[in-house]
Structure 1
Amino acid sequence: SRIMALSRSHDLLVNSEWAGASLFDLAQEQLKPFGHEARVSLSGPLLTLQPNAVQNLGMAFHELGTNSSKYGALASEAGRLEITWRIVEGVSDKREIHLVWDETMPVREGERRDESTRKGFGTVVLQRVAPQSLNGLAVLDRSPGHLKWSLTAPLASIIVPQLGADVPETETS
């Protein structure tokens, strides 16, 4: 399934002749195999991601989606997933992207295990591979009924430079 996720990211890049892909399209494409579109909300400015960001964020979305479909919001009819991103002023007045994957789901009877110590491949992708490849920082927070992954990275490391362009319109679904 990880190879298929990488393939979905590459398909987006091939369709643009490796010029990049929108963050909105990438999230939708990576979540497609898990279904439940009605319980997923995407919102943020229209951004065209650099190929490196497409590949790394694509893998992060795949790992989060897989976990969600097995144990989280997409595994429960009452679960909700919200992915938001915005442009913020960072250190030294450099613009940054702040991306948040936020899922809520009902707490199952007897569910009290602490998953914060799990260090599987998906956790490595989310906490080290994706953020480091984008010169950013990520925080993964798990608690009963809630999972939140947030990434902050320099906008210049993520988007395709657009001459004379400021922050674009907002996309939502």
Structure 2
Amino acid sequence: MMKESSMHDEIRKLKRQTAALASFGTQSLRTHDLDRLLTEACETVATSLDAELVKVLELLPDGERMLVRSGVGWNPGVVGREIFGAHELSPSGYAMQMDKPVISGDVGEELRFEIPAFMREHHVRSMVNVVIHGEHRAWGVLEVDARAPHAFDDDDAVFLQNYANLLAAAIDRLETEAALNRAVERSELLLGELQHRVRNLLLNIRSLARRTRRSSGTLDDFSEAFEARLQALGRTQDMLTRAMDGTIALEEVLRQELQAHGMDDPERTLLRGPCIELTGGAAQALALAFHELATNAGKYGAFARPEGRLSVTWEITEEPEQVVLHWRESEVEMPAEPERRGFGSETIEKSIAYMLAGEARLSFSGDGADCEIRFPLSGQGHVSGGQG
């Protein structure tokens, strides 16, 4: 009769576990919250094995520690806080290292492991650990603990491993969904940024066209100047497109324009200042200003003569916090004031005021052009450290 009773108990246990697997498999497809999924998994396992204590351990990104991510039966302060090593001296770490279930019938006689203090405080005597396999690496461990010596057997381990496999598949699905949602959110953010950038670019192009027309004597003059200014905007847009965070270093914008005008000779050019990351709008405004200054330097200034020199320095001032940039040309023979102040001067002075809420002062001496540009850093960029 005892054997028959024991057989019936095993059959009932097997049916209960099979039903639990089927139920969780269906339920996991409907859940979109990872913490809720893990809690439900612990509760189902506890019911299926008549277990007092169940927990899910998540392997942390460093690969060396595990966090009690979820559980049932534990005192407050355990779930979400307790961390221990993912090494062979811990039961769960040993299971992960060996990649197989680990059963310990009585921790009092266990010589393989160091039992964490919080488990001793809960009077854990028996346990079984199985690995939750992730898509690329082990995600963590599913562990069942008992306060009395318990003869966990291979059937229990097989059930838990099957359960852990279902859990791993559900976790992979949720993490994939989360990654896709982040990708969608980023795409929407990038689309909004692109639309904003295109609107600003079209406004800049319209303004360039109007100002270039006013300062051009002939259609050929207009075509040449307008195309050059569009190319300056295009170079900045190309840099913004490649930038991961939508910002460009001030020095990179400056070097780009100097290179485009053949003015990147290190023997004749000095660039120095802190590393400042500019927003797209600030980068466009400065790119146009640098383009006009470089065009002037190439035609009449520092780079119109082999002995000419260019120094561009910038700094951050305090109270108020501003970027102050100095463009200084030297060893140049030119009139103290050009006879005609063209669109280049207007772009440098007026555009900085309109687009950067700053100011620019352009002057000429017998030694070359001298331009000071000031604009508030707030809203236009940030200092990222380092010295140019």
TM-score range, shorter chain: 0.7 to 0.9
| Equivalent position to 2:356, from 134, 140, 152 | 134
Hey, what does 2:13 align to over in structure 1? none
Greater strand percent: which structure? 1
Hey, what does 1:11 align to over in structure 2? 238
* Cα drift, residue 17 of structure 1: 4.8
Highest RCO, 1 vs 2 (Cα 8 Å, sep ≥ 6) = 1
Q: 1:87-122 CA deviation, whole Å, 9 max, x = no partner?
A: 011xxx221110111111332xxx54631x633111
Hey, what does 1:103 align to over in structure 2? 329
The 8 Å contact of residues 57 and 130 in structure 1, kept in 2 or not, is answered as yes
Hey, what does 2:187 align to over in structure 1? none
Equivalent runs, 1:8-157 vs 2, <5 Å: 8-17=235-244, 19-36=246-263, 37-38=265-266, 39-89=268-318, 93-107=319-333, 112=335, 114-115=337-338, 118-157=340-379
Structure 2: distance between partners of 1:159 and 1:84: 17
Structure 1: distance between partners of 2:372 and 2:332: 21
* Cα drift, residue 158 of structure 1: 2.4
The 8 Å contact of residues 20 and 51 in structure 1, kept in 2 or not, is answered as yes
What is the number of equivalent residue pairs in this alignment?
A: 159
Structure 1 residues not aligned, in runs of 5+: 161-165
Structure (1 or 2) with the larger CA radius of gyration: 2
SS at match of 1:169: strand
TM-score, normalized by length of structure 1? Answer: 0.85
The 8 Å contact of residues 82 and 102 in structure 1, kept in 2 or not, is answered as yes
Structure 2: distance between partners of 1:13 and 1:52: 10
Q: 1:27-86 CA deviation, whole Å, 9 max, x = no partner?
A: 010111222422111110001001011100000000000000000001111111111110
Structure 2: distance between partners of 1:121 and 1:3: 14
The 8 Å contact of residues 138 and 149 in structure 1, kept in 2 or not, is answered as yes
SS at match of 2:246: coil
1:100 is aligned with what amino acid?
A: H
* Cα drift, residue 170 of structure 1: 0.9
Structure 2: distance between partners of 1:96 and 1:148: 19
Greater helix percent: which structure? 2
Structure 2 residues not aligned, in runs of 5+: 1-227
The 8 Å contact of residues 72 and 103 in structure 1, kept in 2 or not, is answered as yes
SS at match of 2:307: coil
Identity %: 31
Give the 4+ runs in structure 1 shifted more than 2 A. 111-114
TM-score, normalized by length of structure 2? Answer: 0.39
* Cα drift, residue 167 of structure 1: 6.6
CA RMSD of aligned residues (A): 1.8
* Cα drift, residue 128 of structure 1: 0.6
